[in-house]
Structure 1
Amino acid sequence: MTTTIIGRIAALLMVAVLGGIIGAAATQRDDPSPLLSALDIGFAQDMSAHHQQAITLSDMLTADAAGDVRALAEQIRFTQLNEIGQMTGWLQLAGAAPSSATPMAWMHGHHDHTMLAAAMPGMATPADLIRLQRATGTANETLYLQLMLRHHQGGIDMAAHAAQHTSTDIVRRAAALMVADQTQEIQIMTIMLTQRRARPLSYP
C-alpha cells in the first residue's frame, strides 16, 4: 500500500471520527431535557416576582427616612436585583417563561403552612402598598420595616423549600444564600423596629 493511499485512508477515518463527535454534540444540543427541574423553574419564576415587590417596597421609602433604614433598603434592592438577574438567566437557559401561570404550584403540597398554592408568602397586599405610599416620616419607615420583615419571612420559606427539595446544585446554593442573607436582615429590622417602639407584623 503506498504512502498516498495510507494518507487518504487516515484522512477518511479522521473525517468519520470528527463526524461522530459533531453528531454526538448535535444530539446533546437537541436533547429536550430541561436544564432545570419543574421545581427549579417554579422557584425562579415566583422568587423573581417576590423579589420585585421587595424592590417596589424599597422604592416607596421616603427620602427623609433615617439613614440606617435607607442603607438597609439600598442593600436589599442591590442584593435582590442581582438575584433576579441570576434567576432570569436560569430561566432563559431553560427556555422557560419569566413568570408562572400557576404561582406557587412548585411548593404546594410540600410546605408546612396552610397558605393557598397561588399565594406567595409574605407579600404585601395592595392596601399595604397604599398605606406605605401615604405614610410619611417615622410612620413610613416603620411600616416599611414591618412589611419588609414579613416579606423576608415569606421569602425564607420559599428559598428554604427550594434548597431542601432541589437536585440542582446551583439552585441549592443560591437558595441557601437567600435564606442566610434574609435571616440576617430580619435580625437587623427587628432591632430597628424595637428602637421605634414597634413590633413585627404577624406571619403567616
Structure 2
Amino acid sequence: MTPARGLRAAALGALALLLVGAGVLLRPAIIPENHSAPAVLDAVEIGFIQDMTAHHQQALFMVQRLDAAVDPTITQLARQIEDTQRTEIGTMLGWLRLANASPTNPHPMSWMPDADMPAGHDHSGAGGLMPGMATMAELDALSAARGTAAETLFIQLMLRHHAGGVAMAKSADALVASGPVKETARSMITGQSQEAGVLTLLLAQRNAQPLS
C-alpha cells in the first residue's frame, strides 16, 4: 500500500468511527427509545381483581361468624370455601402489587358492563354493595344465630354471595382476552358453581328458600 493510500484508509476509518459515535449520541433524538414496560394488567383486570378480592374477603368474614357448633357438613364446606378464597386473595393481591395498583377499587364495579350486572344492581350495587354481598345487618344476624338457624342463614348468604361472584367472574372472562386473570376467573366460575350446587342441596334439606 502506498503512503497516500494508507493515509486515505486511516482517514476513512477515523471518519467511520466519528459517524458511529455521532449516531450513538444522536439516536435518542432521532429514534425515540421506548423504555416503558408493557402494563402488567389492564384496567378491566385490575378492577375485577380489586373487587373480587373484597368480595372474597366478605366470604371469609361469613365463615368466621358461623356458629362453631353447626352440622359438621356445613363446617367442612365452610372451611373449603375459606381455604380456596384465602388462597385466591393472596394470588390477586400479588398481581396488584406487581401492577403497582391499589388493593381497593375507588369505583367498585365500574369495569363491569351494565348488561352483565345481576338484576337489581347497578355499578354501585344495592346500598353500595357488589353483587351477592351481605349487609352488615345480615352479618350481625349470622353472628347471633345458633344451630339450625345459623346453618340456614349461612347457606342462604353464601349461596347468594356465590351467585354474585360467578356473575363477576363470567363478565371478566368475557372481557379479558387471555392470560392468568382470565384463567382464574374461569376457575372461580367452575369452583363456585359447584359449591353453589352443594349449597342448594343443603338448603333444600332444611326446607328453606334462597334469598332474593
TM, length-normalised to structure 1: 0.82
Whole-angstrom distance in 1 between the partners of 2:166 and 2:194: 11
Q: 2:123 aligns with which of 117, 129, 147?
A: 117
Q: Which amino acid aligns with 1:44?
A: I
Q: Is 1:133 the equivalent of 2:146?
A: no
Whole-angstrom distance in 1 between the partners of 2:38 and 2:114: 25
Q: Which amino acid aligns with 1:125?
A: T
Q: Is 1:167 the equivalent of 2:173?
A: no
Q: Which amino acid aligns with 2:124?
A: A
2:56 matched to which residue of 1?
51
* Kept after mapping to 1: 8 A contact 2:117/2:167: no
Q: Is 1:94 the equivalent of 2:99?
A: yes
Note the C-alpha offset of 1:97: 0.5
What per-residue deviation string (whole Å, max 9, x for no partner) do you get for residues 115-145 of structure 1? 1112210000111111111111110111000
Q: Is 1:38 the equivalent of 2:43?
A: yes
1:185 matched to which residue of 2?
195
CA separation of 1:104 and 1:112: change in aligned 2, threshold 3 A: closer
* Kept after mapping to 2: 8 A contact 1:51/1:81: yes
What per-residue deviation string (whole Å, max 9, x for no partner) do you get for residues 13-68 of structure 1? xxxxxxxxxxxxxx77x415421110000000000000000000011111101000
Q: Which amino acid aligns with 1:124?
A: A
* Kept after mapping to 2: 8 A contact 1:36/1:168: no
Note the C-alpha offset of 1:199: 1.4
* Kept after mapping to 1: 8 A contact 2:56/2:89: yes
CA RMSD, Structure 1 to Structure 2 (Å): 2.1
Whole-angstrom distance in 2 between the partners of 1:126 and 1:177: 29
Whole-angstrom distance in 2 between the partners of 1:123 and 1:140: 18
What per-residue deviation string (whole Å, max 9, x for no partner) do you get for residues 156-185 of structure 1? 000000011112421111000100000000
What per-residue deviation string (whole Å, max 9, x for no partner) do you get for residues 60-97 of structure 1? 11110100000000000000001111111111111100
* Kept after mapping to 2: 8 A contact 1:41/1:96: yes
Structure 2 unaligned residues grouped into runs of 5+: 1-32
Q: Which amino acid aligns with 1:39?
A: V
Q: Which amino acid aligns with 1:113?
A: P
Note the C-alpha offset of 1:196: 1.1
Larger Rg: 2
Deviates more, 1:144-153 or 1:168-177: 168-177
Whole-angstrom distance in 2 between the partners of 1:113 and 1:148: 16
Q: Name segments (4+ residues, structure 1) moved above 2 Å.
A: none
Q: Which amino acid aligns with 2:47?
A: G
- Give the aligned length: 179
1:198 matched to which residue of 2?
208
